[in-house]
Structure 1
Amino acid sequence: MSCFTCSHPDTLSFRTSPTQNSKDTGKRTLKSFVRDMSLKFKSDRSRQRQIIAAEILKYGTAKNHVEVFTYQELAGATDNFNPECLIGEGGFGSVYKGYIKSIKQSVAVKQQNRNGLQGPREFLAEVLMLSLVKHPNLVKLIGYCAEGDQRILVYEFMPNGSLEDHLLDIGGDEEGLDWERRMKIAEGAARGLEYLHETADPPVIYRDFKASNILLDEDFNPKLSDFGLARMGPTGGKDHVSTRVMGTYGYCAPEYASTGQLTTKSDVYSFGVVLLETITGRRVIDYQRPTEEQNLIDWAHPLFKDRSKFILMADPLLKDKFHVKSLFQALAVAAMCLQEEADTRPHMSDVVTALHHLANQKIRQKEIPKEPFIKSAGHVESLGGLNSYIHP
């Protein structure tokens, strides 16, 4: 039996429901948000729903109206979770493409695996975080279902998949992303982190920044997804959050991996890893490569020390269609994000400024910069130094 959403591609573009817009009228207090949820659940006040409502009530102001769906509604939206509608799967469970008639919207439906890597805590964290934050570069949570042992999250549908799909999972005969698009995706993803770190109140540490969590809409605008590991940032004068080490191997900042002390600079390191992947087209860990090239950061470390080898770090799929000076500058930004000492890494607002410049550069005649933009892998500059890299 074919999935109707798969057989009608013209229905898959994201549309905002007029009904939904009427509910999003400026700032809504968390108290009214919880009250609305309670009215929906007069006939079924499950413990899980009460926990979610209570947790949301502890924090500032709800930025998003989050629908509550029945299992039956979501089964109908995905043709009973038809395998033909499957668009992704992993340790957390499976993601299906669907269409919800009541809100007239195409959606991605993430059904958590009952024995998977994400449990009730991660489910609650994602509903909580995405109710409290709103930004063009963060995926929108449409709603959720918490019936019995079912844990299902419903997001806006992102038709172009993830950055990983277009950067790291492409075949030899496929066209890679061009330089300008890579830099625009990097800039947008950086803006998402900047909002979480410097605008959200309380601040949010994303904790799982990687290419597969950067989703792309119909115009390849990036949106961060999967907030199951996100944590509220330090408050009350504290400079870190202590937590058990979670995330994906290769992307975790060294100080977080060794001490469990999490800061926004931990996200900055992870961003540096993804930016380096974006420049090189290489996975951070790739056991298909020769031993000395399996760890991207270890491979890049000696190359950062020799400007004559910077060009070797460009993804071959770019086919030399980039301005070499821009390549050097992008590598400078990545190198500064990857500093061993957390305090020497830039803030995401500075990274955004740098990448905005790179994303809007026109490809001009290729020329090798006369002076290296990265003096050594351990080279540390002030934030003013970062700007001098980008505006020499």
Structure 2
Amino acid sequence: MALLQTDLLIAVLSLAVLYSFVSPDAQGDALYALKGSLNASQLTDWNQNQVNPCTWSKVICDSNSKVVTVSLSNMGFSGTLSPRLGILTTLQTLSLQGNGITGKIPEEFGNLTNLTMLDLENNHLTGEIPNSLGNLKKLTYLILSQNNLTGAIPESLSNLSNLVSIQISSNRLSGQIPEQLFQVSRYNFTENHLNCGINSAHLCESDDGGKSHKSKTGVIAGVVGALLAVLLLGGFLLYYMWKGRHRGYKREVFVDVAGEVDRRIEFGQLKRFAWRELQLATDYFNEKNVLGQGGFGKVYKGVLGDNTKVAVKRLTDFESPGGDIAFQREVEMISVAVHKNLLRLIGFCTTPTERLLVYPFMQNLSVASRLREVKPGEPVLDWSTRKNVALGTARGLEYLHEHCNPKIIHRDVKAANVLLDEDFEAVVGDFGLAKLVDVRKTNVTTQVRGTMGHIAPEYLSTGKSSRRTDVFGYGIMLLELVTGQRAIDFSRLEEEDDVLLLDHVKKLQREKSLDSIVDRNLNKNYDIQEVEMMIQVALLCTQSSPEDRPAMSEVVRMLEGDGLAERWEEWQHVEVTRRHEYERLQRRFEWGDHSIHNQSAIELSGGR
């Protein structure tokens, strides 16, 4: 019994020790030790009394408050690396490039078994590359260039089967390069004293990731060839431009926007951003830069190196069965959708653990924010602007549904996904994102992407979306524009049963109480006939049967004043008939529910 108690005590103590290594206290202590060793006085919010580091700058935690990213690039540190950092076993990214860090790389870094990126480039590190780094089985990026490292490259690095890039140029390394490292997709061993081996000597001359194995003579020949190619290509382009002027020739590298010929975009303009570039642009995805958050992830405000303002969407729940190539193919398909009322995609970024999309920054944010989050002193959306937003959004969706190739279903049309440019023109965002994420990982509903209150009933029940599900969401967005309210508002339970905005508007429309529908922030500065027309279009778009809803091209025509009266008269007839039938069945149900004997009589009076 005593032996059993001793074993139990040891087990409990072991668990306590293990917990101490992963607890917020231990994480905070380890990072605070790093701050001290780096002489990092700049990190003023890394407070020893605030041991949970998840609120500290340059630190990112997961949903379980475990540290996964520490990014301290180009901070001007001059100290050393703390070995206590080795207890952060959940760490995935450690980026310290561009500082003046001295001393050795701690052996304890080999305990960071979840690490996918280790970037210590451009410091003053000395000593050998620790053999323990061979334990980092998940490591994909190892960047140690531009330091003063000595000794041989550890043979253990050959065991890193997930490695896609190893950059160790400009050090003082010597000895044999392990042959297996030449199988890595990108490598750079130049400006060292390394022995590449008899069969791989030519590979040590490469400083472009091992892709071009050319000598200086080959480079010169390549440059000359490239110049000739440019001259030839220029001649062909001039020829075709001249030919086009005489034969109406149109270059296929441009996409003409149907109905909106004032905007064109050239293929190949999509930029692939580096992860580090977007880290710097968003201040390491600082929460202060969050513009919004939805089912697809967070959106951060960012500023690129050329001072261009951008919005960076950091996707969650993405699926990429074919890796970067599959993701890039889907992104390029979305980028083909070019229209003045669609948000233009600037570029993207992929890493083994991240998928990001980069868009222009919309300084007037979203329609939803302008309807419901107006700060004191800011103007509200006037009625004229709301009409323009309704028409612009309809035109953007019409393009996605009917003119884009391939056709794109948005799947989450709502005021929060309609942005406003500097002229308050509507710009539809987030279209096509459902193609880039794994719908099986969503916690909302199986096979359904969208926002409750905006989701068409058939999509919610079957998981099958169509262009008409977008039409339903658009109709709800029109009601948001008119009322300024959310699609679902539980505060209405205090006065009535209509939690859904759609039901609430239908009721007030039947009661002919249009004045009580319109957003009070408009202060009655609107045309009541135009309000009625917009509500009519909204109700046509939100019919329960998808077959009864108009196509977006028809919606555009109705908003422009063509065909609404006829469609509305037809809808009223159907709706009145449907409502009378519903009320008749309800009365019959209520009557039968309170008359047990009469129920029996009804059953007995059936067919004989």
Structure 1 residue 344, shift from structure 2 partner = 1.4
2-structure distance, mates of 1:194, 1:257: 23
> 1:111 and 2:314 equivalent?
yes
The separation in 2 between residues aligned to 1:374 and 1:259, in whole angstroms, is: 25
Structure having greater relative contact order (Cα 8 Å, sep ≥ 6): 1
Task: Check the 8 A contact 1:163/1:214 in 2, yes or no.
Answer: yes
Question: Partners in 2 of 1:297 and 1:98 — Cα distance?
Answer: 37
TM-score by length of 2: 0.45
1:263 aligns with 2:466: yes
Q: How does 1:129-140 map to 2 (within 5 A)?
A: 129-140=333-344
Q: Does 1:89 align with 2:293?
A: yes
1:67 matches 2:264? no
Which of 490, 494, 501 matches 1:296?
A: 501
Match of 1:249 in 2: 452
Task: Identify if the C-alpha distance between structure 1 residues 288 and 64 changes in structure 2 by more than 3 Å, giving closer, same or farther.
Answer: farther
Whole-Å separation in 1 of the counterparts to 2:503 and 2:327 = 35
The residue matched to 2:364 in structure 1 has which SS? coil
SS at match of 1:320: coil
Q: Tell me the matched-pair count.
A: 301
In the alignment, structure 1 residue 339 sits paired with structure 2 residue 546 = no
Go from structure 1 to structure 2 and tell me whether the alpha carbon gap of 1:160 and 1:196 turns closer, same or farther (over 3 Å shift): same
> Does residue 355 of structure 2 align to residue 158 of structure 1?
no
Deviation at 1:131, TM superposition (A): 2.0
Q: Which residue of 2 aligns with 1:355?
A: 559
Match of 1:202 in 2: 406
Q: Is contact 1:206–1:231 with CA below 8 Å preserved after alignment?
A: no
Contact kept, 8 Å, 2:413 with 2:470, in 1: the verdict is yes
Q: 1:377 to 1:83 in 2, by over 3 A?
A: farther
Preserved CA contact (<8 Å) 1:86 1:94: yes
Q: Deviations over 1:43-93 (max 9, x none)?
A: 499xxxxxxxxxxxxxxx985621001111112222333344332234544
Q: TM-score, normalised by structure 1?
A: 0.68
- Please tell me whether the aligned partners of residues 409 and 432 of structure 2 are also in contact (alpha carbons under 8 angstroms): no
Indicate how the Cα distance of structure 1 residues 172 and 77 shifts in structure 2: closer, same or farther if over 3 A, else same: closer
Aligned AA for 1:150? E
Unaligned runs of 5+ in 2: 1-41, 43-56, 58-207, 212-254, 256-265, 437-445, 563-567, 578-608
Q: Tell me: CA distance 1:376–1:274, structure 2 relative to 1, closer, same or farther (3 Å).
A: farther
Q: 1:277 aligns with which of 480, 492, 499?
A: 480
Report the secondary structure of 2:404's partner residue: coil
Contact 2:296/2:433 (CA < 8 Å) preserved in 1? no
Distance 2:210 2:468 in 1: 42
Q: State the Cα distance separating 1:261 from its structure 2 match.
A: 2.7
Residue 96 of structure 1 deviates from its aligned partner by: 2.0
Q: For residue 80 of structure 1, what is the aligned residue in structure 2? A: 284
> For the structure 1 residues 126 and 311, does the alpha-carbon distance in structure 2 shift closer, same or farther, using more than 3 Å as the test?
farther
User: Residue 343 and residue 98 in structure 1: after superposition, are their counterparts in 2 closer, same or farther (change >3 A)?
Assistant: same
Do the aligned partners of residues 357 and 167 (structure 1) sit closer, same or farther apart at CA in structure 2, a change above 3 Å counting?
Answer: farther
Matched-pair contact (CA < 8 Å) for 1:64–1:134: no
Instruction: Report the 3-state secondary structure (helix = DSSP H, G, I; strand = E; otherwise coil) of the residue aligned with 1:151.
Output: strand
Structure with bigger gyration radius:
2
Q: Distance in 2 between matches of 1:230 and 1:293?
A: 30
Do the aligned partners of 2:434 and 2:449 also contact (CA within 8 Å) in 1? no
**Using the alignment, how far apart are the partners of 2:369 and 2:528 within structure 1?**
25
| CA offset digits 1:135-188 (Å, max 9, x no partner) | 111111111111221222111111111011011333687643111101101111
Runs of 5+ unmatched residues, structure 1: 4-41, 46-60, 233-242, 359-370, 381-392
Q: Is the 8 A contact 2:295 2:450 kept in 1?
A: no
How far is 1:195 from its partner?
0.1
Q: Tell me, yes or no, if the aligned pair for 1:111 and 1:153 is still in contact at 8 Å.
A: yes
SS in 2 for 1:257: helix
Q: Contact 1:329 / 1:373 at 8 angstroms: preserved in 2?
A: no
Partner of 2:490: 287
The question of whether the paired residues in 2 share the 8 Å contact of 1:97 and 1:107 is answered with yes
Query: Secondary structure of the residue that 1:130 maps to in structure 2?
Result: helix
Q: Distance in 2 between matches of 1:91 and 1:105?
A: 26
C-alpha distance in 2 between matches for 1:94 and 1:172? 26
Whether 1:378 and 2:589 are equivalent positions in the alignment is no
Give the Cα separation in 2 of the matches to 1:134 and 1:91: 24
SS in 1 for 2:314: strand
Kindly indicate whether the alpha-carbon contact (under 8 Å) linking 2:309 and 2:360 is maintained by their aligned counterparts in 1. yes
Q: Is the 8 A contact 1:204 1:231 kept in 2?
A: no
